[in-house]
Amino acid sequence: MKAVILDAVSLGPDIDLAPIRQRVDTLEVHDQSSREQAAERLAEAEVAIVNKVVLDAETLEALPALRLICVLATGTNNIDMAAAKRLGITVKNVSGYGTASVAQHTLMLMLALATRLPLYQRDVAGGRWNENPFFCLMDHTILQLEGKRLVLVGQGELGSKVARLAQAFGMLVDFAARPGNEAHDRRPGLCDLAPEADVISLHCPLTEATRHLVDARLLATLKPSTLLVNCARGGIIDEDAALEALRQGQLGGLGVDVLPEEPPRQGHPLIDALDEPLNLIVTPHNAWITPEARQRIVTLTADNLRHWQEG
């Protein structure tokens, strides 16, 4: 059996591919592949292993030997799933590999925003501490998390992990109803919970129901001190509206690990705003990248290969 990894660079150079190699006769590894290169490189492969390379209907139709696609991620939006089904190609993804890593990153953003770290670091770098007549700077009010209310959107493995970590800080945790299903969900909707939230953290997929879930209208209902964290998908927040709320003092802090287009080749207003004195953090979609999480992707992909072979 021949397998081809199309974009191994997405796993990083420090990851051991041995669990996958042990499941196939031949493993061909490419750091990156364009859509056009994918068709050529998969010509004789039974298994395609891919993270973000697009495998559209035209590409899949040109690959009669292909029987399995292993996605090195949870999302499968880069695969034409309907075409794969029509052609009898099995698609398997991985999930839960980065729970500890993303939850840790979420708490990092929450803590950094609560302590106004971006603002105080700016002050120190600008020499304001050196010139201060008092021994410490107290210009930016810090939010003590103990006793504060955290509202989470998404009660899966990741959201539940974040909840447990937040409770260790003494936070009170509420889960919002699944967006778009509020009428059939016993949990309150986000719009009902938002006015009392001290922190809102998003851990849901990007769907039609969640696109711009946090928009100007919802932002207007928040307390001015509320912190907003998005480690889910870009576009769940209306980033322009959130930035304006932050600038106007209608939002206490904003931390995002995701943007609607990644990488942001044309830039993004949130990146531009990092030069402003705002309680704002933008990280480059790296919440998931601990070595443990990336190695777990390989292990889970090898498991997917084994289950497919046995089935």
List the catalytic residues: 233, 262, 285
- For residue 147, the tally of other CB atoms under 10 A from its CB is 10
**Radius of gyration for the alpha carbons in the chain, expressed in angstroms and rounded:** 22
- For residue 216, the tally of other CB atoms under 10 A from its CB is 14
Q: What sign does the CA torsion over 189, 200, 235, 84 have?
A: negative
| Class of residue 138 by CB neighbours under 10 A (exposed 0-12, middle 13-18, buried 19+) | exposed
Tell me which residue of 310, 306, 286, 303 sits closest to 94, measured CA to CA: 303
Alpha carbon distance 267, 130 (integer Å): 34
Q: What sign does the CA torsion over 290, 291, 296, 297 have?
A: positive
Contacts for 59 with CB less than 8 Å, ≥ 6 apart: 35, 38, 39, 42
Identify whether the C-beta of residue 208 lies closer than 8 Å to the C-beta of residue 234. Answer: no
| Class of residue 201 by CB neighbours under 10 A (exposed 0-12, middle 13-18, buried 19+) | buried
